[in-house]
Amino acid sequence: AQSVTQLDSQVPVFEEAPVELRCNYSSSVSVYLFWYVQYPNQGLQLLLKYLSGSTLVESINGFEAEFNKSQTSFHLRKPSVHISDTAEYFCAVGGAGGTSYGKLTFGQGTILTVHP
C-alpha cells in the first residue's frame, strides 16, 4: 500500500520570498512521484515529476523538487514566489504494475497563499 503525507495544510508567504512545501511518502514498491497544482474550479495540472534518473527535477516556472529515497521525501521548493503561484498543491505517488496500475495516491493538499 502507498500513502502520502503533506505536512502543511496551509502555507502563507509574501511575494518574492522562498517557499518549501513538504511531502513524505510510504511505499513498498518502486515509486514515481509527482507534484500537481490546482487552481479554483479547475482540474489538476502536472507541475513536475520524478520517474527515474536525476533526483532533482525542475519545472518551467521555477519550482524544483528533490527525491530523497532515504528520507522518503519529495519536497517542493521555489526560491521566489509570485502572486500567481497562489493555488493548492498536491503531492502524489504512483507505482509500477499490479495494484498500482493507473492509480495515483494523493496527499491532502497544501494551500499556498502568496501575499503582496
Partner 1 sequence: KAGVTQTPRYLIKTRGQQVTLSCSPISGHRSVSWYQQTPGQGLQFLFEYFSETQRNKGNFPGRFSGRQFSNSRSEMNVSTLELGDSALYLCASSVDSTEQFFGPGTRLTVL
Q: Per CB under 8 A, does 34 bind partner 1? A: yes
- Range in contact with partner 1 (rule: CB under 8 A) among 13-21, 44-52, 62-70, 79-87: 44-52
Q: Per CB under 8 A, does 106 bind partner 1? A: yes
- Range in contact with partner 1 (rule: CB under 8 A) among 19-27, 41-49, 59-67, 73-81: 41-49
E strands of the chain, at which residues?
A: 3-6, 10-14, 19-21, 23-26, 31-38, 44-50, 56-58, 64-68, 73-78, 87-95, 104-106, 110-115
* Contact assessment for residue 97 and residue 85, using Cβ atoms and an 8 Å cutoff: no
User: DSSP assignment, residue 98?
Assistant: G
Nearer to partner 1 by Cβ, of 80 and 108: the residue is 108
Q: Per CB under 8 A, does 32 bind partner 1? A: yes
Which cell is 32 given?
514515481
Pairing of strands 44-50, 104-106: unpaired
Q: Per CB under 8 A, does 24 bind partner 1? A: no
Binding mask 45-84 for partner 1 (x = CB under 8 A): xx--x-x---------------------------------
